[in-house]
Amino acid sequence: MSYFDAASSAPLHPVARQALLASLDEGWADPSRLYREGRRARMLLDAAREAAAEGVGCRADELTFTSSGTRAVHEGIAGALAGRRRVGRHLIVSAVEHSSVLHSAELFDVTEVPVGRTGAVSARAYVDALRPDTALACLQSANHEVGTVQPVGEVAEVCREAGVPLLVDAAQSLGWGPVEGPWSLLTGSAHKWGGPSGVGLLAVRKGVRFSPQGPADERESGRAPGFENLPAIVAAAASLRAVRAEAAQEAVRLRELTERIRARVPQLVADVEVVGDPERRLPGIVTFSCLYVDGETLLHELDREGFSVSSGSSCTSSTLTPSHVLKAMGVLSEGNVRVSLPFGAVSEEVDRFLEVLPDAVARVREKLGAPAPAVAVREDVLVVDALGKRCPIPVIELAKVIGDVPVGGTVRVLSDDEAARLDIPAWCEMREQEYVGEEPADQGSAYVVRRIS
């Protein structure tokens, strides 16, 4: 089985396993106690904090261990906003942040900064979003779905000039290196770099106004209540140091493998859009979307072939809505596949993935090609009634009939699936047809496409 979903959770690094087992014997006592066992545990905790702080690029007394990366985000946002409550409750986030950031933002007055088609923000957009009552800005270091690296340094400078702290969610990038720029708060998650799950990091720079929320607790500077999971913390710090030692060499190797996927997939599979920035991206992530493909079905097909991958397709979501990241980027969402290679992934596994992918996509397309489109002609406009059908079916039916109208003629696709709002324009761009726009309909919406070739 080839595990290609490291962006969700990386396999436990061998160094993390060794450190975890060793600290189970040495670090079980309460590190706040003064007897021998407590002192030994305190030494392990202090050493882990020093090592993790070195990896983050902050002082040891600026770093707090939390129970998860999500908890670090929640505590960081709540504490920073509470510390600057006299300024206001306005929060700036990018439209492609991790759900932990977006869910926290729902509690405040929030402005979402848009992204371009590659998934990147611009520093200018953050300048435009700043207000007198802006208490905090948030920006991920790199996107978890498409791998695009954000201009954190530029945005951090903008925020510093405005006197607004910037919180950086560095969960995806921390294993590759420290985050550059004058950020104010930073969060991370150990299981993203090969540490154990259940350990997060929250760094708060000296001078940043911060007020921990919830009941007071004497542990972790009051920022993360509860008894420390010392064995997991030690393993997290040890694995961060270990992956950093390998990062430069491994980045070159994994980038070559993902470049191979980016180049070969459009050659092997028709009607594919590779998404994310082609250059400013994490080394191990490559994401693409396939027209006329159900994302969940494709993931099952690849799983049967021995590959574990993930998807941002609407078809893999219980809400049947597209990934908020793909939606913000305005790219094709159907048949979406994210390949995120773990440290140590080998070339032969990538080659085998490229061998099985075309047949897997073909099988899914064959399964979905059966429904016959419901077509009618009204006033010289071809109408495709795809109401009640989920993407990619509306796009498949559009593709079947576009040749039935003359050049310059239009097709009106009726659909009540949210994903069609992204996938039909994306299909037009890929197939060099003109997307006229969306119109209201008695049910759902009407998406108008003009044939130009």
Residue 200, both tokens: 């997060």
What is the model's pLDDT at position 453? 85
- Rounded Cα–Cα distance for residues 101 and 389 (Å): 32
What is the model's pLDDT at position 30? 85
Identify the three-state secondary structure at position 338: strand
- Rounded Cα–Cα distance for residues 213 and 211 (Å): 6
- Rounded Cα–Cα distance for residues 32 and 219 (Å): 9
| Longest alpha-carbon distance in the chain | 88
Interaxial angle between packed helices 14-26 and 230-268, expressed in degrees from 0 to 180 and rounded to the nearest 10: 170
Identify the three-state secondary structure at position 445: strand
Region of residue 421 (phi > 0: left; psi between -120 and 50: alpha; otherwise: beta):
alpha
Of the residues 290, 315, 391, 428, only one is catalytic, namely: 315
What is the model's pLDDT at position 381? 76
What is the model's pLDDT at position 155? 98
The residues, ordered by sequence, that sit 6+ positions from 51 with a Cβ below 8 Å of its Cβ are 237, 238, 240, 241
What is the model's pLDDT at position 372? 39
What is the model's pLDDT at position 351? 96
Q: Output the tens digit of pLDDT for each of the chain's 453 residues.
A: 699 999 999 999 999 999 999 999 888 888 888 898 889 999 999 999 999 999 999 999 999 999 999 999 999 999 999 999 999 999 999 999 999 999 999 989 999 999 999 999 999 999 999 999 999 999 999 999 999 999 999 999 999 999 999 999 999 999 999 999 999 999 999 999 999 999 999 999 999 999 988 766 666 666 777 778 999 999 999 999 999 999 999 999 999 999 999 999 999 998 899 999 999 999 999 999 998 998 889 999 999 999 999 987 544 445 557 789 999 999 998 899 999 999 999 999 999 999 999 999 999 998 887 333 344 444 467 889 999 888 899 999 999 888 888 888 899 999 999 899 999 999 999 989 999 999 998 889 999 999 998
Residue 292, both tokens: 């006329």
pTM of the model: 0.86
Whether residue 146 contacts residue 275, with contact meaning beta carbons closer than 8 Å, is answered with yes
Whether residue 413 contacts residue 393, with contact meaning beta carbons closer than 8 Å, is answered with no
Q: Among candidates 220, 130, 119, 139, which has minimal Cα distance to 179? A: 139
Other CB atoms within 10 A of residue 130 CB: 18
Q: Among candidates 313, 320, 271, which has minimal Cα distance to 291? A: 271
Q: At residue 30, what are phi and psi to the nearest 5 degrees?
A: -75, 115
Identify the three-state secondary structure at position 93: strand
Specify the DSSP class assigned to residue 379.
T
Question: Which residues are registered as beta bridge partners of 185?
Answer: 167, 204
| CA dihedral of residues 363, 1, 196, 68 (deg, nearest 10) | 0
Whether residue 151 contacts residue 161, with contact meaning beta carbons closer than 8 Å, is answered with no
| Residue type, position 246, single letter | E
- Rounded Cα–Cα distance for residues 401 and 178 (Å): 52
What is the model's pLDDT at position 218? 62
CA 241 to chain centre: 23
Helices vs. strands in the chain: H and E counts, helices first:
12, 17
Residue the block writes with tokens 């906003």: 81
Residue 203, both tokens: 């760094």
| Residue 315 annotated to the active site | yes
Residue 96, both tokens: 């492609």
What is the model's pLDDT at position 217? 64
